Structure formats: structure tokens, C-alpha cells
Structure 1
Amino acid sequence: MKILKISLLIATISLANLNLIQAQKTKGKVQNTGLQERAYWAKLLYKMASPVILNLSNSTLKKNMPVEVPPGMKTDFFKKVTYLEAVGRTMAGVAPWLALSDDNTDEGKMRLELRTALLKGIVNAVDPANPDYLNFRTESQPIVDAAYMAQAFLRAPKALWEPLDAVTKSRVIEEFKTLRTRTGAYNNWLLFAGINECFLLSVGEKPDPARIEFARKKMIEWYKGDGWYSDGPSFSMDYYNSYVIHPMLVDFLKVLSDKKRVPVEEYNTALQRMVRYSEFSERIISPEGTYPAMGRSATYRTAAFQALAQVALMEKLPEHVSAAQVRCGISAVMHRMFDTCNNFDSNGWLVLGFCGSQPMIADSYTSTGSLYMATLGFLPLGLPAHHPFWTDPAADWTAKKAWSGAAFKKDYHVEY
């Protein structure tokens, strides 16, 4: 009887310890919430974007931003274009986040600081007398980075366009019109020229219809199927469908459909194709939070997930892809890329590379300003903190399910 009592006591203690351990595990999971991940995203985006935005607002961008270029390349050309690259690309990435309403949270204070600084910075960027007056008027590259600025204005007109004074708006419009003196490459660059004209159309200016129609017709022609576009006449296996094509084409066609320039069905088809492509983006995230460093422009880092991020922002994720699994998958990539790799120099500027400083992998057109494409992976921050994207319980993404032996949805081919 005594032995039985001791055995029961041991069993009771063991059960209590097991429950305590389980409670601690559960507590740990609860602590790792979507809101904590949101705080991580916000701090990381602030760290990435603030050197560009704060320096531009203080007229010190050209003074303080380094111009790192691939080995063997000279900086002379890049100094003509890299600053607009940094500004336009950063603006496109932060725009949805800065469009949120103000609040007194730590995140809200960061947003307010960056929005206030960016509005001042835009004034500086188009003021010919300012040290940080940006180059829209020479070289072809500004066609590209004005397009990202245009996309930012389209993504957050009330936050970034409407508050500007009349003189600054007039100057921005004039700079965009000067882009018409040049042409670019026969690929996704057509879309850059087209969206610049769509921005002008959106603010009441007369666009160049030829640039719009050429971009529109060629992108339709270059669709290859199953959610993939060719970047020009030849197909390239890289991330340009996410860096540029899907997000910019959808934003481009949204303006045109809203203005009754194209049928709304054309916009809906482009959106449907981006949704399909986003499924591939979600599936390439490995269980460890890595993804293949393939194709051109690997130094754009998290921009590889812009299409997936935009579909999440638009609340258009496929039915079988939950917001939580997208949040957790992209968070895993961010943690893997930015917690284990030092992607910033001692002054907080991004460095050439994919995972850390790897200048040898940079393309010939890449410089410091180019790297701020990475901000484009943060678009879901434009969803408020109470949105299910941030509040739903954590969920495994597709590759994590597949490699753990759990059930996951088989892939398929689509005809649209």
C-alpha cells in the first residue's frame, strides 16, 4: 500500500511537471505572435528605409549615401542615377505602411517620422536649388526609378501626393514629363514608361498614349501561361515577375480601368495571373526560411516576394493559402536573411550581396541605390495591426508542411 501511494505521488508530480512543460511551450508559442512579427517587420523596414528618407529630408542624401558598385566598375555613371534609385524604390516599399492612420504606438511614431520626412524629402528631390535634387533628366535609368516613385504615389495618394504643395506637385509632374525624351530596353522597361504615364493620368495630366499602349499590348503578348510572363521576347527564369512585372502591371491596369481606358476584365485577368504567380512564391520558401538565389538581380533580396506581398495586401490570396502561412513564411525569410547575415554597413546602408556582403554577385547595373528594392517585400505592413494577416495564429507554409510529412495541397496548372 505504501509503495502504491508513492507511485501515485510520483505519477501526480510527473503529470504536473508535464503540464507545466506543455504550458511553457504553449506560452512560448503565444508569445511568438503575429503582432510580434509585425513589430519585427516594422523595425526592420524602418532600419532599411530611414537612412534614405531621413537624409533626403535633410538634403544630405548625396553627401552621406555610399555608392558601392560591382568589382571593377567605376562610380562615375552610378552617381548620376543611384540616388533616385534609392528614393523611388524605397518609396514604393514604404508607401502602403505610411498610408496607415497615425497612432501613439512605437510603430505609429516610426511611420509618422518617416512620412513627415519623406514629404519634406520629395520637396527637396525636385527643387533644382537643393543639394539633393534628383536626376530625372539624363540617362535612361531614371525611367525605371521614377516608375517606382509613380507606384508609390499610386499606392498612397492621400499620404504621399495630396499633402504636397502646389509648387512641388508641378515640379514632380514636370520631371516625369522630361522622361519622354528617352527610351529604355525592350523588356519590362516598357512597363516603367507606361506606369509613369499612368501616374500623370491619375493626377489629371494628359498622358502619352503611345507609351501606355505599347506597354499594355506587349505585356499581354509576353504572357507565357500559368502565371508567368516573359521579360521581353525571351523567357528568363528569375524573379522579375515579382520585382516588376506582376505588381506594376496590376497597378498600371488599375489606373487604366478606373479611367475607362481598358475593360475592367483586362485588369481582373492580370490580377488573377498575379494571384497564380503568388502561389509559386509561397511554395519556394523552404522549411528553413531560405529560397533559391537564382537569376538576375539576386541583390534585391526580399523584393523576390513583392507579388506575394501585394496579393496579401490586396486580400486576394488563393483560398487554400492562408494569410497566416504567408506571414509566417515571409517572416522566416526575413529572419533567415537579416538575423544571420549582416546586410548593412556600419552606417546602416544596404551592401551589395544576397546574404551579407557579396559584391561579386552584383550585376553590372547594380549600385547601392538599386538594393532598396528589398523594401518591396514589406507591403503587408499596409494592413492594420488588427487585420487577420497579423492576428491569426501561426501556420506552416506549404514547403514546411510538405517536408514534415503533413498534408498539403497539390499544385496544378491554370489556363488563364
Structure 2
Amino acid sequence: MGVKLPIADNPLCSKADLERAFRQLTKPLLPYYSAGGARLELPGSGAGQSPDISQMEGFSRIIWGLAPLAAGSGHVDEDLLQLVLRGITNGTNPGHKEYWGIPADYDQRLVEMASLGLALAIAPHRMWEPLSAEAKQHFYDWLNQINSLKVHDCNWLFFHVLVNVGFYKLGLPYAKEQLEANLDRLEQFYLEDGWYEDGTNGHSDYYVPLAFHYCGLIYAALMKEEDPKRSARFEERAALFAGQFANWFTEDGRAVPYGRSLTYRFAQGAVWGAYAFAGVQPFELGVIKGLYMRHLRWWLRQPIFSPDGLLTVGYRYPNLIMAENYNAPGSVYWAFKAFLPLALPDDHPFWLAEELPLPELTDVSVQHAPHVVICRDNNRDHVAAFNAGHRSTNDHTHSSAKYEKFVYSASFGFSVPRAEWGLSQGAYDSMLALSEGDNLYRVRRNNEATNLDGDVLTSIWKPWRDVTVTTHLIAGLPWHVRIHRIETARALDAAEGGFALPLDASLSVSETTGSVCGLTGFGGSGITSLIGYERAEWISVQANTNLMHERTAIPTLQTKLQPGLHLLIIAVYGEPGAQEPVNPDGWRQRVQVYLEGNRVRAVSPLGKEIIVAV
């Protein structure tokens, strides 16, 4: 497990505090720079890219914070700055042994060029002008390779944009036509309400704020005079997005863990700093500052560090099980995107504003573009995203767990499989898992159809060609209801989990034939069968499967299904901070369920009606 370091005592209330946080996070990195300064040789596990590319990645990701700091004040660690300038000089020099090499199409190094483009655009006096004429030419030539190479047709297009904006700002030759083409292509990923999809049929996750809006706001700030129409469009969409995205955050600064690349941690909230950088105010400036600062404070008090102060791969604690194939030890420093406001002068209104609480938010926020309904329990500071699911999928690690669970909670987190055998290894919280009796389970991965109607989410999915599941979620906190209509041509074992409850010595469990509930010092979690399940069990799942908590157990219902038509209806409870044993019938206060002959009728808290024929 990671340890808390002195940075946890940084109050993070002012620009000076943020500058100090950057120094506190970068000081432990200094011994790990290579002799020539061009690589960050961090210890730890490997990644899909080669070690030399991973080390270049680590080098470049520090610049997401260093460039704004160099742009906004004189309070730069000169040792770090000189080390980075030496690294740029050597890394871009074809004759040096630490040369970063010649990238190929779709190369990870193309991603890492973006921070260098940002440095050229906003901090040329500290990160370009001090270089020799020869070093400048090498630097330009190496970055300019991106203009003859292909990038993935998704948020990667913005990396090309940032490099060429950097060239433009320095008066260097740049790929104007390709820049325009990429900006036009990014336009085609726009959906509605400020949301983009990450490529054609891609997901709408944290890459929308940390890539699309973050880079779009930087472009708008830097190119407003040259490209006023597009800049205004980026600003308008970002402002629209903020009204939905604020719902993803709790009052204390946590965000809902959902999707891939969660090891970038406080990059989740980097877009709030980008609003300040670009001068875009979807809310009062104090509200934006509060969202930004509380998020950083929450993260920097979590055990996410190694003993010597390095950020680790993981989410709320070091955890390689949840990582993507592309997560190298230095990848995590994309979190430094959150330091963009350091580019603002000391007397900027953002730094002078008083932090304000969250804007007024509704208990239920229906967000059609990302296919989610966000529910909020202000009494417990609990936020959860109920998920209708997606029509497409991808091959990233744990894609089903990261995109297709029924609900994602900012307090309970979510779990990924440790291995493929059984319920303990699979850790199927907030999922319906189906098996052919061989203890190997299938879950929802993509959907034939999805729909949102108020607080009711519907999806149709096929774990096998001859098995069709229609799922209705009635969203709500602390209770929600799930209804599954299963038409199967094969015999199946069914298991369905509630919220994963973190374990401690105070755990108390109550079980009946149709329900199981648990209570610890953290809170309560439970699950009740209304129709269809035969037994309830408290499953202690394998360690380190949950992103938020190292040791958890999942209340789980199980039954056997013969070929034919089946109906499974359950009520699920999750309440952080609960101190009293769970009433397994508490769901009745929120949802009405009626069995009427051969059909079931359910009415949601918002009055939406579901009728399912059996």
C-alpha cells in the first residue's frame, strides 16, 4: 500500500500552495532522470510500449505542469528546468545516445509531443529561447515528424493540434492544412450537451473533459484572434458540458470512477483549471475554483504514493490489476494536466476568488450522450452514475468492468476481475453474471439497444447468440431496482452483485433466503430478491479488485435458469456512512413493483412506468 507524505498537509488554497504541490511532487523524481536528462527511468512494471518509449513518456508528462509554472511565474525549480532543457536538447538530437528516435504511425511518442507543443506556445521564454540554435532546430525537426505520421482517429488528433499551435506561436513553419483537417475531424465527434465521443462510436468518459475540452479550451485561449468562430464554439460547448459534468463530483471533491485510464487520477478534474486558463465561466469563478481545489485536495490526501514520493499506478491506492496495457510507471503523470492554472498571473481573479460550494444540482441528472443517469444523495455526499451501456466496445483491459456495470459509485467504487474463475475472482459488483455451469461467467460487454427515460435505463444485450437479456434499471439512492427479462436457449447459472463493501473488523452481516446485507464502519450495502433468485450470499472477493478499497465483499444473489423465459427482479442498497442495520424492504419507499398476472409493472420515483411481460 502507498503512504501519505508531507504533501497531504499542503492546504492547497492558493497559487503558492499549488506551486509548492508541484515541487513536492517533482522533487522525488529528480534522482530518476537519466544521465542525459531525456528519460525518466522510474521503477515499476512494464507496459505495451518499449522501456525507452515509456521513459520518454514519463519525461514529457512532467511538462504538463512545468510549462504552466514556467509561463506564470518565476517560482520554477531551476534544477528541474535545466534538467528538462538538457533532456529536450539530448532527446531530440539524432547524434545523442538518448535520442528519442523516429516515431512510427500511431506511436506513443506522438501523444507525448503534445506537452512539448504546449510549452512552445505558453512558455517559450523559459523552454525555447534558452536553447542553442542547433538545439532549437533539432527540437523543431523532432516534433515536426508528427506532421507526416498518422494518429488514432480520436482524442489523439488534438496532440497534433497542440504541436502545430506551438509552432505557429513561435512563427515556425507548421502544417496549416493538416491542422484544419484535424480540427474539422474532431468536430464530427461532437454529440450533444457538451459531450463528445472518443472517436466514431467511441465512449464518452473522462477523455471528454481531460482531452477534448481541455485541449479545446487551450486552443480557444491561444487562437481566439486567429480562429474566432471555432474558439467560440469550443468555449460554448465547454460551458454547456460543465453543467452536466459538475454532477459527477461530490462535495468533498471525489469524482465517480468510470471508464479507462483512471490511473491518471486528478486529471479527472483538470478541465476545471482549463476553464480558468481560458477565461470561460460556466459558473461563478468561486464555484469553478472550489471544484478544482477540492478535487486536488481529496486526491493528494489519498495513499497513492510510493514510500519515496512517486505517484503509483492504480486508483485510490497502488494497484496494477486495474491498469491498462499502456500504463507505464511514468504514465500516471498525465495527472499534471491539472496544473494548467499555474500559467495564470498571481493577481488573476481565479486566485483571488473565494472558493464556493458546488452549484445547485438536482438529485437526478439524465445525461443522454454518455448514457448515464447521475443520482445524488446530499445527506451522505454520495454520487452514483447509473449506466444504460453502449452499442460498441473496445479491447482495452477490463472493458466490461469499466464501461458496462449497471452503476458506478464515487464512494463504493467498482471492481475489476482478478481472474476468470468463479465469483470471488470475478468480483461482479453491480453486474449480472451468467455461466453455463462451468464457473466461467459472462457479463454485459456491449448492447443491442439502449434507452434512457427519466430515471429508468433500458438495455438489451446478448452474452451468447441464443441468450437475450433485457435490463431495466430504476435509478436512485440509497436504493435502486433492477429488472431482467432473460430469454435463454441454454441452462445457466445466474449471479448478481450489489455494491462492494469495504471490509473492517466491525463487519456485521444479516442473511435470509432472499437477501443479504452488510454493515461496517464505512457504511452499508445490501441486495434483496423480489422475483427469481433462490439464495443470497455474502461473497468475499479477492483483494485489490476494487478501485477504491483494497478488501471488499459483495452481496450477491444466485439462481439456476433452465432454457426458457425468466424474470429476475432485485433491489440494491448502498449508503456510505450508514450506522444502522439495513432494512431489506427499504426499497419500497422509492419504487412500486406489482405482479399482475403474466406481467410485472414497476413505477419509478419520477413516475416512469415499466411493464415487462413474462
Whether the TM-score (by the shorter chain) exceeds 0.5 is yes
Shift in alpha-carbon separation, 1:385–1:257, aligned structure 2, 3 A? closer
What residue is the counterpart of 2:115 in the other structure?
Answer: 148
What residue is the counterpart of 1:125 in the other structure?
Answer: 91
1:101 partner amino acid? S
Shift, 1:381, TM fit: 2.4
Is the Cα contact below 8 Å between 1:100 and 1:384 reproduced in 2? yes
Shift, 1:172, TM fit: 0.8
What residue is the counterpart of 1:45 in the other structure?
Answer: 22
Higher Cα Rg, which structure: 2
2:304 partner amino acid? N
More helix by share: 1
> Aligned ranges for residues 115-194 of structure 1 at < 5 Å?
115-138=81-104, 140-194=107-161
Shift, 1:290, TM fit: 0.8
Shift, 1:90, TM fit: 1.9
Deviation string 1:55-86 (CA, Å, 9 cap, x unpaired) is: 548535647422534xxxxx573313212222
Q: Residue 329 in 1 paired to residue 324 in 2?
A: no
> Aligned ranges for residues 362-401 of structure 1 at < 5 Å?
362-398=323-359
Shift, 1:314, TM fit: 2.5
- Larger relative contact order (CA 8 Å, sep ≥ 6): 1
> Aligned ranges for residues 4-403 of structure 1 at < 5 Å?
36-52=13-29, 55-56=32-33, 59=36, 62=39, 64-69=41-46, 75=47, 77-102=49-74, 108=75, 110-138=76-104, 140-252=107-219, 258=225, 260=226, 263-318=227-282, 321-339=283-301, 341-398=302-359, 403=378
More strand by share: 2
Is the Cα contact below 8 Å between 1:52 and 1:87 reproduced in 2? no
C-alpha distance in 1 between matches for 2:48 and 2:250? 40
Shift in alpha-carbon separation, 1:114–1:257, aligned structure 2, 3 A? same
Shift, 1:41, TM fit: 2.4
C-alpha distance in 2 between matches for 1:384 and 1:256? 19
Shift in alpha-carbon separation, 1:351–1:279, aligned structure 2, 3 A? same
Shift, 1:255, TM fit: 6.0
Aligned pairs, number: 357
C-alpha distance in 1 between matches for 2:142 and 2:23? 28
For structure 2, list consecutive stretches of 5 or more residues without a partner in the other structure.
Answer: 1-8, 364-377, 381-614
Is the Cα contact below 8 Å between 1:343 and 1:355 reproduced in 2? yes
Is the Cα contact below 8 Å between 1:96 and 1:379 reproduced in 2? yes
Q: Secondary structure at the match of 2:321?
A: helix
Shift in alpha-carbon separation, 1:251–1:379, aligned structure 2, 3 A? closer
Is the Cα contact below 8 Å between 1:98 and 1:114 reproduced in 2? no
C-alpha distance in 1 between matches for 2:88 and 2:273? 25
Aligned CA-pair RMSD: 3.1
Q: Secondary structure at the match of 2:357?
A: coil
1:367 partner amino acid? A
Shift, 1:275, TM fit: 2.7
Shift, 1:291, TM fit: 0.6
C-alpha distance in 2 between matches for 1:76 and 1:236? 22
Is the Cα contact below 8 Å between 1:54 and 1:117 reproduced in 2? no
2:151 partner amino acid? G
Shift, 1:209, TM fit: 4.2
1:276 partner amino acid? L
Is the Cα contact below 8 Å between 1:58 and 1:121 reproduced in 2? no
Bigger mean CA deviation after superposition, 56-65 or 215-224: 56-65
Shift in alpha-carbon separation, 1:207–1:398, aligned structure 2, 3 A? same
Shift, 1:136, TM fit: 4.8
Shift, 1:96, TM fit: 1.7
